[in-house]
Amino acid sequence: MPDVLNRAAQIGEVNKEDPRIKRILKTLETNQRKPDGLIQVLHTIQDIYGYVPLDLIVLTARELRVPPSRVYGVVTFYHFFSLKPKGEHNCLICTGTACYVKGAQKLIDEVQKDFKIKPGQSTPDNKFSLEAVRCIGACGLAPAVVMDNEIHARMTPENIAGIINKALK
């Protein structure tokens, strides 16, 4: 993290005429530039860009008058936010206790084998990305997978590739 934040100090101003930046600034205004609005601002950034670029971590920190490390900490804590662009289609495999005990690692292994990517990576064409997340709060459905924001319950290594391939078509 220190290297990231050291680079953050070198980032200049963003183009405030960019319509995407204007939308972010509007969200900041709506939240009265209070630190309590951090999550909402990050959601806006994630919605616009598909990830949270470093220069926008710096912008957000400046506008909310908080250290960049606080914004970075929130981005890296919550699985919804990403520091890297995600694929067009995204698969989250829950690795919380219930899902892990019921086979989450086998699901991850199967996706790695079939699609040649590891958690946190995207395919070379950026069509698909895989993430292993701490918990999605669906313990009764374990092991659970979220494919393009749709929860799939009681997944098995035999059926996960079919769910992914269906989304990719």
pLDDT the model gives residue 136: 87
Determine the structural domain holding residue 8 and report its residue range: 2-77
Q: Are 57 and 119 contained in the same domain?
A: no
Of the candidates 14, 91, 2, the one whose C-alpha atom is nearest the C-alpha of residue 45 is: 14
- For 75-99, write each residue's pLDDT tens digit: 998 877 889 888 899 999 999 999 9
Q: Are 110 and 144 contained in the same domain?
A: yes
What's the total number of domains in the chain? Answer: 2
Show the beta-strand stretches assigned E in the chain: 89-94, 121-122, 128-133, 145-147, 150-152
Residue 46 counted as domain residue = yes
Q: Are 145 and 97 contained in the same domain?
A: yes
pLDDT for residue 11 is more than 80? no
Residue 130 counted as domain residue = yes
Cα atoms found within 13 Å of the Cα of residue 104, Cβ hemisphere only: 27
Instruction: Report the CATH number at residue 140.
Output: 3.40.30.10
Q: Give the residue from 23, 47, 77 where a domain finishes.
A: 77
- For 118-166, write each residue's pLDDT tens digit: 998 999 999 999 999 888 889 999 999 999 989 999 999 999 999 999 9
Residue 82 counted as domain residue = no
**Which of 15-19, 59-63, 107-111 is predicted least confidently?**
15-19
